[in-house]
Structure 1
Amino acid sequence: MAELQPGDKVQAHYKTGKYIGEIMEDRGHAYLVKVLAVLKHPQQGDLHNPGKTENVFFHERKALAHNEKANISKSSLSEHDGEIPNYQDSLREALDKLKQKLAAKDDEFSEKAQHQLAELEKRYFK
C-alpha cells in the first residue's frame, strides 16, 4: 500500500473509537486527522480495568466531534474508499449499536455504561 497523504480519507482507530476522517498533516510518527464520521463509539469505563465498576474511576468517553482534529498514529490508520456518512447520522448509529450491545448484558458494568451513554446522548442530540 502506498503511503497515505494529506487529503486522503482514512479509517482511524483512536482510543476505543473508530472514525472516518481526512488526513490534514503528516507529523512524522502520526497524522493530524479531521473527523468526518463515527464508525464505533468509544467504550465507557476504565480502559485499564474493562468490565469493572468497583475501585476504579468509571470514565465517560465521548466520541470525537465533527471536524475535530486528533493526532493518530500511522499504524492506527487505513485507507477509506467508501461513502462518508453524515456525521450526526453516523454518531447516532454508532451510539445505538453500543447501547444494544450493552442492553444484551445484565450486569453492573453494562448498566453504568448505559447510564453514561444516555447522558451523552442528551448532549449530542439536544
Structure 2
Amino acid sequence: MGEPDVLLDIVKISYKTGEYVGEIFDRDDRRVLVKVLAVLQHPTQGDLHSSYDPDAAMFHERRALSYTEKVWVPAQTAQPYKGTVPEYRQSLLSALASETERIDRLKRWSELCLEKLDILRKDYGM
C-alpha cells in the first residue's frame, strides 16, 4: 500500500518561459492548479521559434503572470519550493531587472561582435 497523495503546498513552476512560486489550489489526475505568489524569472520576449530575430513576423510581448492568477500546469512539473516566498511586487521588479540586465548584456555583446567584424573586414581588405 503506497503513501497517500499529498498536496505540495508551495511549489515552483515554469509557465510560458516564466518561472513562478505559487500555492497549489486544486488538482486533477494530470495537472495542478497553481495560484501565483511570486515571479522568479520574467517571461522571454520575442518569437520563441525565431530566437534573437528582431525582424520575426510576430515579436511577442509576454507579461508575467499576475499576483494570485491561477494556471494549470502538468503535475510532474510542479517542484516543491523551499525557502521564503518573496513579496510579489518585489519579486516582479527583481525578475524584470534580471531580464533587462540579461538583454542589455546580450546587446553589448552584439555591439562588440559588430565592432570586431568591422575590424576584420578592414583587415581582410574588403
- Normalising by the smaller structure, the TM-score range is 0.7 to 0.9
* 1:78-97 superposed matches below 5 A: 78-97=79-98
* 1:30-41 superposed matches below 5 A: 30-41=31-42
Identity among equivalent positions (%) equals: 39
Aligned to 1:42: 43
Question: CA 1:55 to 1:95, structure 2 compared with 1: closer, same or farther past 3 Å?
Answer: closer
Give the C-alpha shift of residue 56 in structure 1.
2.4
TM-score (norm 1): 0.77
Q: Deviations over 1:43-85 (max 9, x none)?
A: 0011122111224200000000000000011232100121001
Q: How many residues align?
A: 106
Instruction: Answer yes or no: is the 8 Å Cα contact 1:14–1:76 preserved in 2.
Output: no
Query: Which of 1 and 2 has greater Rg?
Result: 2
Question: CA 1:55 to 1:93, structure 2 compared with 1: closer, same or farther past 3 Å?
Answer: closer
Look up the SS of the partner of 2:24 in the other structure: strand
Matched AA of 1:58: F
Gaps of 5+ in 2: 112-126
Matched AA of 1:105: L
Instruction: Answer yes or no: is the 8 Å Cα contact 2:30–2:74 preserved in 1.
Output: yes
Partner Cα distance (2:12, 2:53) in 1 = 29
Look up the SS of the partner of 2:106 in the other structure: coil
Look up the SS of the partner of 1:21 in the other structure: strand
Gaps of 5+ in 1: 109-126
Instruction: Answer yes or no: is the 8 Å Cα contact 2:47–2:56 preserved in 1.
Output: no
Partner Cα distance (1:56, 1:84) in 2 = 38
Partner Cα distance (2:30, 2:88) in 1 = 27
Question: CA 1:95 to 1:55, structure 2 compared with 1: closer, same or farther past 3 Å?
Answer: closer
Partner Cα distance (1:89, 1:50) in 2 = 28
